[in-house]
Amino acid sequence: MPTPVITRCIRREELRRLVPLSSTTIYEMERRGEFPRRFNLTPRCVAWSFDEVQAWLAARRDPVDGEALERAPSPDVYQRRTRPVRIARSS
């Protein structure tokens, strides 16, 4: 498989300006294969392909039929460990 040509790479600061998600969310999505993978420029410097990030944003903006993102389910407040919702007792 030929290596794709990268026309421009972006560092974390510019990525955060383009994609309004936290670093943790980006890394988790990247690990699951839902976001473009970063690559190492040096042992301590990572970057992303600008073209891949732009394509990812375009796919989010204009989803193909049937591929629209579903909203995450609301949390069950009765299962919370802190400040659980108490069932009101009738007097």
Chain segment 37-63, per-residue pLDDT in tens: 999 999 999 999 999 999 999 988 877
CA nearest 18: which of 2, 1, 36? 36
Distance CA 19, CA 17 (A): 6
In a domain, 83, yes or no: no
Top-confidence range, 16-25, 54-63, 73-82:
16-25
Amino acid making up residue 80: R
- Can you give the residue range of the structural domain that contains 16? 1-62
Please indicate, yes or no, if residue 45 is contained in any of the structural domains. yes
- CA-nearest of 63, 83, 67, 87 to 75 is 83
Task: With respect to residue 81, please indicate whether it lies within any of the assigned structural domains.
Answer: no
